[in-house]
Amino acid sequence: MINLNPVLDIDKEDVVNMTPIQRRKVLKGIILSMGGLILPPSFAQAARLNRITDIRMWTAPDHTRVVFDLERNTQHQVLQLRNPSRLVLDIMDSAAGIDPATMGFSDAIVNRIRSGIPRPGVVRTVFELKTGVRPRSFLLKASGDKPSRLVLDLVRTKGKSKTPGNKPVIHESASKRRDAVIVIDPGHGGIDPGAVGANGTKEKDVALQVAKRLARKIDSMDGFKAKLTRKGDYFVSLRKRVSVARKHQADLFVSLHANAFRLQSARGTSVYMLSEGGKPSPDKAIRRLEQRENSSDLIGGVKLSHVSDPTVRGILMDLTQRDSLNRALVYGKNLLGELKAVPRVNIHFKNVKQAGFAVLKAPDMPSILVEMAFLTNKKEERLLSTDSHQNALAAALASGTKKFVKSSGLA
């Protein structure tokens, strides 16, 4: 499908004369239009971009081959992302003359193909994978009547046998799959009580109570495992909470809080995710990871320390952060949908609210913060102290988590 994006309705002169802020807006528009965007030939020529003139795909028993015909040889990079398993191919200094997403290709290795323009001049193709692959890519120079070509092989690393012999094909059993790890973060703790209600209910206590109930429910679901960032009444720094989650290789992070406001009438439940403005720059996010002792951490399935080119590291981080934000939004919507159905819950904000909370800044985990109720509202303070309401909230959060994980192919 082709997205017609009004922000692209500019010529090259405009791009050159833009202020950085305007340019950022344009870039943002282009990024938001992910999903099959094709630049007109005139734009490509104006920017002297390489054009991708054809794409072909074949299925072999142990690999899928994709060939991009190019006007000239150009640089490319391949990134692997997990949860769900994807392979991202960026072709630099290029414009797409053909959209691979429209080919509707799918086989035993590739589930679906998406495409987009993450930045002007970069053609991105995302292969959603059904199986583990080892990518192999190389350029072929033009020869005879054949143009320059970029060849990408997605070589299967596990699953079915290579040789189509008499041997029975052994499928991986579902039970062998890694559980989806949900890290639950009860807000505050120890010397930091958080909000305190008129009747003395402390945020740190109700957050821990609901977190424990939620953890039990998640642990009881097939294919899920819950971890808590604190199990008792003690102080844990925000940084530590995030690093605990990363240590457990969390697939999702959900922080539980209760609100306070000077007006007693304020009430309701809210779901927050990190705002675009609160997102650390890719460079800052990389520095943060490096400062921590676990700097060998994987980002998007790639060991950051193995990527020497700082530009590529930046791109990788940016891609990962964006992906986490997109997924957090969907996860947040799932939670909000379930919370709406809980009796006596008032939804404070109809949509997932965006804010710059530090605990949501992990670059590679979709992270959500839930303000369960206002402790400064007498009715809600009472409600949030009851077993039945705590259980109902935990059930809604567990159910929203399950729905998100099932729909996103995490488990």
Binding site for Zn ion (CB under 5 A): 187, 194, 257
- Written as one letter, the residue type at 28 is K
Q: How far is the CB of 249 from Zn ion (least distance, A)?
A: 25
Q: How far is the CB of 110 from Zn ion (least distance, A)?
A: 44
Which of 160/239 has CB closer to Zn ion?
A: 239
Q: How far is CA 404 from CA 85, 306, 408, in A?
A: 16, 32, 6
Which of 121/194 has CB closer to Zn ion?
A: 194
Which of 35/193 has CB closer to Zn ion?
A: 193
Q: DSSP letter string over 235-263?
A: ---HHHHHHHHHHTT-SEEEEEEEE--SS
Q: How far is the CB of 372 from Zn ion (least distance, A)?
A: 10
3-state secondary structure of 186: strand
Q: Give the residue nearest to Zn ion (CB).
A: 257
Q: How far is the CB of 330 from Zn ion (least distance, A)?
A: 24
Which of 69/381 has CB closer to Zn ion?
A: 381
For residues 318 and 239, the answer to whether their CB atoms sit within 8 Å is no
Q: How far is the CB of 117 from Zn ion (least distance, A)?
A: 39
H or E segment at 401?
helix 387-407
For residues 62 and 155, the answer to whether their CB atoms sit within 8 Å is yes
3-state secondary structure of 135: strand
Q: How far is the CB of 257 from Zn ion (least distance, A)?
A: 3
d(Cα 40, Cα 97) in Å, to the nearest integer? 8
Each as own residue / partner, the long-range contacts of residues 80-84 (CB below 8 Å, 24 or more positions apart, any chain) are 80/133, 80/135, 80/300, 80/301, 80/302, 81/300, 81/301, 81/319, 81/320, 81/323, 82/300, 82/301, 83/251, 83/408, 83/410, 84/128, 84/129, 84/408, 84/409, 84/410
Which of 93/192 has CB closer to Zn ion?
A: 192
Q: How far is the CB of 374 from Zn ion (least distance, A)?
A: 11
Which of 63/257 has CB closer to Zn ion?
A: 257
Q: Is the bond into 84 cis (omega within 30 degrees of 0)? A: yes
Burial class (CB in 10 A: 0-12, 13-18, 19+), 9: exposed
Which of 149/257 has CB closer to Zn ion?
A: 257
Which of 165/232 has CB closer to Zn ion?
A: 232
Q: What is the dihedral of CA 329, 330, 336, 338, to 10 degrees?
A: -160
Which of 194/300 has CB closer to Zn ion?
A: 194
Pairing of strands 148-156, 367-374: unpaired
